[in-house]
Amino acid sequence: MAIYLNDVSRTFGEYLLIPGLTTKDCVPLNVSLQTPLVKYKKGKEAAIRLNVPIVSAVMQSVSGPELAIELARHGGISFIYGSQPIESQTEMVRKVKKFKSGFVVSDSNLTPDHTLAGVVRLVNHTGHSTIGITDDGTPNGRLLGLVASRDYRVEKDAPETPVKNFMTPFSDLIVGKLGLTLSEANQIIWSNKLNTLPVIDEAQRLQYFVFRKDYDSHRENPYELLGSDKKLLVGAGINTRDYKERVPALVEAGADVLCIDSSDGYSEWQRDTLHWIKETYGDRIPTGAGNVVDQEGFLYLAEAGADFVKVGIGGGSICITREQKGIGRGQATALLDVAKARDDYYEKHGIYVPVCSDGGLVHDYHMVLALAMGADFLMMGRYFARFDESPSKKLKIGNNFVKEYWGEGSNRAKNWQRYDMGGSEALKFEEGVDSYVPYAGKLKDNLALTLGKVKATMCSCGATSIKDLQANAKITLVSSTSIVEGGAHDVILKE
């Protein structure tokens, strides 16, 4: 006879938070949302800590380079989707790492003999308005000049005009010498009212650019998630099939953390993948695993070497795993069970393995519930798919704007590796749907509103940190009638 669990499989919508004492110091400004992303030993700090407890899902319709850049600028991290060729995934990782690094290697370069038409093509291709003009058109050629958007007018200048006729020549440039610090470079920029400072070596070869906007960007985004090299942090998804080829390429491209992407992480395939990564790289490239829904699954992956463990099967808005296979567990119940296993593991071994809650979040307050129930951070897909920065198309259907959103288990994604059960390489049946989500605008504006709600809710619980929340939050089950009572009722709503 099968093992029968007596507990009811519950989700976040069945719970409410009970207010705690809100002290005068418990205001949103004092709330810290910092949280560990990867495991650490007792008495130590995690090698990577998030400034906000939010990461974006390993999905084609969610985590491209534009969203990864924007989320990292606001304190979270994205996992660039792995259901694509290794070459294109590594190029996405490189794009994120190049965006904000203080000293930027130029990837927009031409020679003086190129034309304005070539400048326009390059700007349209890269999106970069500053072009280094070198003797051979390479990033490290001898610097001869600079072209910025102020140097030409597309509507009036002839397309065949040579670059040398309108570039700012080297003799008129203020440059920095290789070896100066980022602080010194920024001082030159401010003292001379520059937008861009080229950095050259003794032979006048271009080495880097330093941009004023990067300094301004950091002031505007104080929660930016940066490494010691001042580059934005970015993650990448991998599978259990081609990891021996994909992982080295991602490490070389600069990925900071990896995540094995699977609908069911309690498997020997994930164990073997973790073992190979740890044997090959040690602690150089932290790797998360999952998904699991109970203590056994967590302990299996923790003992295999996972740096964090994802929780959740079938709770995503586009996931139909529970319908197709009858596999899964209510997200709240799964999270509570796994969080207990994490705490017990920490007490026994002195190693804290963070838990990521993946799926099941419908309202913003569900995020606080998930954190209170033990999640260290949250992975979301639908939430981010709505924004300008997600990779999917923005469409108008009727009178409403929407964005496309499809699951990795859908035929559109063709991500058979995520649902791999061995055998032939094919998606045997769908575990995700192809859909639309209401268009919501920019990530920055929406995330600010969400985090404002999260902080306000935490203050109502009397907590100013995630650890405070987990230690002191009070949670109650609600009846179906209580859920109705929680919305507008017994009134006539105005149009």
**Active site residues per annotation:** 319, 418
CA 99 to CA 420: how far, in whole Å? 34
Count of other CB atoms within 10 angstroms of residue 453: 16
User: Is-contact 257 77, C-beta < 8 A?
Assistant: yes
Single out the residue of 189, 148, 192, 198 nearest to residue 170, CA to CA. Answer: 198
User: Is-contact 404 61, C-beta < 8 A?
Assistant: yes
Torsion of CA 453, 456, 462, 466, to 10 degrees: 40
CA 473 to CA 484: how far, in whole Å? 23
Single out the residue of 415, 309, 336, 385 nearest to residue 82, CA to CA. Answer: 415
CA 391 to CA 64: how far, in whole Å? 6
CA 318 to CA 338: how far, in whole Å? 23
Question: Could you identify the residue written with the tokens 């992956």?
Answer: 301
Single out the residue of 130, 89, 81, 82 nearest to residue 107, CA to CA. Answer: 130
Q: Which pair of structure tokens corresponds to residue 352?
A: 């804290």
Helical H runs in 100-181?
116-126
